[in-house]
């Protein structure tokens, strides 16, 4: 199939309540996604705290491409492609560090950490050559929102703020769990690989239907209260913010409990240092509300998943090969909370995590499953007839409804149809 | 307490212990494996290097004794889908060495291992350095500490949900 031929082909593959199995398995569609999604729209790359000091750098990615996120001497953040402008060799082979420049080991071309070519070996062979035209490639647009750095390869288009739209508020909510209003990404990443298409991961992040089943083994033995959040009687919501961003809003359940830090399975007594810092920062009434509501569960399209206590970055490598990069969220000024966040995260996620090992098993089984083409469709109609709108006009449904998947595919289709 | 055995005799004892541990893991004898731990056991698999600080940075596994018990309980439910069906496994252990001993302290042992895993996804080979601290409890060797350092722990890894 020529996936680029016409708009109507996407119409045939994506319906209001179903999508075609080939969308997960067709290598030509994956190539089209790289062009129309990963190399065009805003993609999450890294966090400012990962390059806290001048000349810090860290290796990140956009899809399969290696990206060097640097903070240059002026303090500006750059997203540079890890590819020498001479013969294509990777100029940086270390995961992170502090460097004013990167020297390609192949022919000793040297680039400043803002991407400028500053020198090459035996320069007399390049007489008359304009160095400014031989800089490292860069992600055309770089913008941050509350420390979260996004990049877009499109030189023009919607701003990051426009792209985030209503979902920006979830990031505001997230950082408000810090007494200093800042998240830090300092605990290092686990990298969990699955032989599955990236969209199985994307859709699962705000799928509130699966936890009662996929995670029954850990809920049963860990004395966890999470299970009831995703039960048939739960008052929690799924939400579609548009632009592919989706949320599971657990606040209705936490507000019923009316107990600060219950969202994290603990209490302010056990986190007294955190609670007192929150009270000092926000006043007792606002601090209490923040500590009741908890942090968001939101999937920022296409690759940043904030899962209350940890964040995942989804990286597609091939149509059937994806990596989940995951780390504990750390809140500035909250050392006692942060220690627990790390401990909980290590237990839950990554290759040996109590939760994510089972999620990842589902991704891989789904990928192998949809290779069978009868039925041809993945059915996403749960709760379609009981969708509602919240006060801001965003689509909402029961926590177990497939509002998020439908929202993701609606946006996906608009991106894939775009010229 | 260190037993009064000579180093050679001790090496035979710890080798038998490590082989037994590997067999219990291969055969998914979760409770018998758990019984090898002391009450203060720590089971650690670092990520992104050999010597990260697990109190500050993410590890693949960093279980205290109660979390070891939870890991085993989850496996015993039969609904931990990543191990339902169970991986077929064989551990190959070598290079068993007694390491520097502290007087009166635990027995420090190290080994290398290769693990061949066959799961629904595919066949996977895992290679690791293992560092143990063993201790005699009521005349039986027990594990107080096991650190499993995968050779490729800086890379993206497939699910590793069996006992390694």
User: The CATH number of the domain where A71 resides is what?
Assistant: 2.102.10.10
Q: Flag if B157 and A191 touch (Cβ within 8 Å).
A: yes
Q: HEC profile for chain A? A: CCCCCCHHHHHHHECCCEEECHHHHCHHHHHHHHHHHHCCCCEEEEEHHHHCCCCEEEEEEECCEEEEEEECCCCCEEEEECCCCCCCCCCCCCCEEECCEEECCCCCCEEECCCCEEECCCHHHHCCCCHHHHCCCECCEEEEECCEEEEECCCCCCCHHHHHHHHHHHHHHHHCCCCCCCEECCCCCEEEEECCCHHHHHHHCCCCCCHHHHCHHHHHHCCCCHHHHCCCCCCCEEEEEECCEEEEECHHHHHHHCCCCHHHCCCCCCCHHHHHHHHHHHCHHHHHHHHHHCCCEEEECCCEEEECCEEEEEEEEECCEEEEEEEECEECCCHHHHHHHHHHHHHHCCCCCCCHHHHHHHHHHHHHHHCCCCCCEEECCCCHHHCEECCCCCEEEECCCCHHHHHHHHHHHHHHHCC
pLDDT tens-digit map of B115-141: 999 999 999 999 999 999 999 999 999
Q: Looking at A28-42, A131-145, A215-229, which range is the least confident one?
A: A215-229
Domain boundary among A123, A152, A181: A152
Most A CBs within 10 A among B42, B49, B121, B148, hence the mutation to make, goes to B121
- Residue A234 and residue A276 in one domain: yes
In a domain, residue A330? The reply is yes
Mean of pLDDT values over B20-46: 98
Collect all residues of chain B within an 8 Å Cβ-Cβ radius of residue A223: none
pLDDT tens-digit map of A23-65: 999 999 999 999 999 999 999 999 999 999 999 999 999 999 9
Q: Flag if B121 and A362 touch (Cβ within 8 Å).
A: no
Q: What pTM value is reported for the model?
A: 0.96
How many structural domains is chain A composed of? Answer: 2
In a domain, residue B67? The reply is yes
* pLDDT for B1: 43
User: The CATH number of the domain where B78 resides is what?
Assistant: 3.10.450.50
In a domain, residue B156? The reply is no
pLDDT tens-digit map of B35-68: 999 999 999 999 999 999 999 999 999 999 999 9
- B82/A contact by beta carbon, under 8 A: yes
In a domain, residue A22? The reply is no
In a domain, residue A308? The reply is yes
The ipTM of this complex is: 0.95
In chain B, residues 51-80 whose CB comes closer than 8 Å to chain A: 52, 55-63, 67, 70-71, 73-74, 77-80
How many structural domains is chain B composed of? Answer: 1
Smallest Cβ distance to A217: which of B74, B121, B156?
Answer: B74
What rounded mean pLDDT belongs to chain A? 96
pLDDT tens-digit map of A345-366: 999 999 999 999 999 999 999 9
* pLDDT for B102: 76
Collect all residues of chain A within an 8 Å Cβ-Cβ radius of residue B63: 347
Per the structure, the complete domain to which residue B84 belongs is given by 7-150
pLDDT tens-digit map of A301-315: 999 999 999 999 999
């Amino acid at each position: 199939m020529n996936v680029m031929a016409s708009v109507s082909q996407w119409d045939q593959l994506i319906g209001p309540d179903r999508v075609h199995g080939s969308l997960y398995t067709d290598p030509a569609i994956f190539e089209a996604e790289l062009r129309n999604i990963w190399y065009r729209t805003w993609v999450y790359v890294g966090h400012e705290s990962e390059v806290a000091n001048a000349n810090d750098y860290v290796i990140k990615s956009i899809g399969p491409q290696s990206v060097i996120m640097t903070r240059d001497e002026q303090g500006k953040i750059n997203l540079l492609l890890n590819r020498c402008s001479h013969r294509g060799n990777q100029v940086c082979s270390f995961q992170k560090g502090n460097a004013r420049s990167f020297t390609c080991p192949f022919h000793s071309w040297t680039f400043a950490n803002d991407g400028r070519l500053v020198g090459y070996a035996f320069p007399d062979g390049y007489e008359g050559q304009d160095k400014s035209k031989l800089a490292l490639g860069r992600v055309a647009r770089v913008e941050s929102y509350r420390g979260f750095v996004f990049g877009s390869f499109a030189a023009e288009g919607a701003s990051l703020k426009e792209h985030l739209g209503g979902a920006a508020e979830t990031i505001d909510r997230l950082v408000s769990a810090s007494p200093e209003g800042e998240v830090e990404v300092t605990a290092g990443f686990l990298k969990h690989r699955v032989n599955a298409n990236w969209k199985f991961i994307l859709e699962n992040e705000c799928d509130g239907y699966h936890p009662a089943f996929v995670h029954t083994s850990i809920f049963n033995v860990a004395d966890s209260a999470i299970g009831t959040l995703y039960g048939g009687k739960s008052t929690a919501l799924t939400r579609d913010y548009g632009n592919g961003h989706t949320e599971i809003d657990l606040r209705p359940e936490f507000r019923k409990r009316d107990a600060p830090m219950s969202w994290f399975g603990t209490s302010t007594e056990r986190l007294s240092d955190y609670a007192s810092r929150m009270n000092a920062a926000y006043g007792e009434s606002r601090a209490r509300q923040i500590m009741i509501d908890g942090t968001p569960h939101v999937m920022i399209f296409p690759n940043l998943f904030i899962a209350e206590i940890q964040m995942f970055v989804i990286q597609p490598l091939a149509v059937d090969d994806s990596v989940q990069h995951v780390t504990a969220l750390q809140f500035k000024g909250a050392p006692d909370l942060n220690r627990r966040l790390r401990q909980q995260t290590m237990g839950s996620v990554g290759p040996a995590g109590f939760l994510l090992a089972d999620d990842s098993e589902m991704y891989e089984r789904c990928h192998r499953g949809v290779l069978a083409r009868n039925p041809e469709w993945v059915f996403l109609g749960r709760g379609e007839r009981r969708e509602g709108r919240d006060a801001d006009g965003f689509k909402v449904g029961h926590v177990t409804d497939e509002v998020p998947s439908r929202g993701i595919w609606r946006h996906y289709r608009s991106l894939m149809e775009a010229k | 307490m260190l037993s009064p055995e000579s180093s050679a005799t001790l090496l035979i004892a710890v080798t038998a212990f490590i082989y037994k541990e590997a067999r219990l893991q291969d055969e998914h004898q979760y409770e018998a494996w758990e019984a090898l731990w002391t009450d203060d056991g720590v089971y650690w698999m670092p990520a992104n290097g050999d010597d990260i600080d697990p109190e500050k940075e993410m590890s693949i596994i960093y279980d205290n004794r109660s979390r070891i018990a939870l890991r085993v309980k989850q496996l015993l439910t039969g609904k931990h889908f990543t191990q339902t069906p169970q991986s077929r496994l064989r551990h190959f252990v070598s290079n068993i060495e007694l390491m520097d001993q502290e007087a009166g302290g635990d027995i420090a042992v190290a080994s290398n291992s290769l693990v061949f895993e066959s799961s629904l996804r595919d066949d996977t080979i895992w290679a690791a350095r293992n560092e143990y601290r063993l201790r005699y409890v009521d005349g039986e060797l027990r594990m107080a500490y096991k650190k499993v350092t995968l050779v490729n722990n800086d890379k993206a890894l497939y699910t590793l949900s069996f006992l390694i």
